Chain A
Amino acid sequence: LAKTTQPISMDSYEGQEVNITCSHNNIATNDYITWYQQFPSQGPRFIIQGYKTKVTNEVASLFIPADRKSSTLSLPRVSLSDTAVYYCLVGDGAGNQFYFGTGTSLTVIP
């Protein structure tokens, strides 16, 4: 079971780029990496998923180095509405992604 490690909290000013790194040293060959965003009193929301190199969508980018032992979620030009908890997930080696880590609480400051 691949365990993930993320910073507990981060602060950023509005308009800055924010990078949140997740460590997953024991990731299995067939595991994907998925990131979610959670606002208070809501369920998590899927942001992005990747396997290797770089993935970009309209919300974020995900950078995965060749050894895949970590991944970095990049949020361009954050706004106050990006204040949330961000979780990264990896699988259990059998294609299941059940286990959320403690997440990173991002606070965007005006």
Chain B
Amino acid sequence: GAGVSQSPSNKVTEKGKDVELRCDPISGHTALYWYRQSLGQGLEFLIYFQGNSAPDKSGLPSDRFSAERTGGSVSTLTIQRTQQEDSAVYLCASSSLRLYGYTFGSGTRLTVV
């Protein structure tokens, strides 16, 4: 597609439930990133995928968070046993070269009630 697509755009879930957030990067982009942005805050790096290399998971806040990227394209961020502090906008970005600018999606707004 023309841009980075994220789904759903909004997700409300009950505390303790698992959620899956999807990111469809720009076709041909080898690098994919997940970020989290809490209300009024900056962007918090979560995880980075580059081609077929092992992902850089250094930003994942706890073992409740995991992500995978299938076939070097679509990525899914999974949050298990959601907590209220997980409420945030989850942003996905992709890029063709590591040092060039990222293209971000519009994000998924997650609300844990």
**B-side contacts of A45, CB under 8 Å:** 104
Q: Which of B33, B91, B103, B105 meets A46, CB within 8 Å?
A: B103
B window 1-51: CB within 8 A of A: 4, 33, 35, 42-43, 45, 48
Interface contacts (Cβ under 8 Å), in number, total 51
Which residues of B are at the interface with A, using a C-beta cutoff of 8 A?
A: 4, 33, 35, 42-43, 45, 48, 56, 59, 91, 93, 98-107
Instruction: Give 11 CB contacts A-B under 8 Å.
Output: A43-B4, A43-B93, A43-B106, A44-B93, A44-B104, A45-B104, A46-B101, A46-B103, A98-B48, A100-B43, A103-B42
Which residues does A use to contact B, with CB under 8 Å?
Answer: 32, 34, 36, 41-47, 49, 87, 91, 95-103
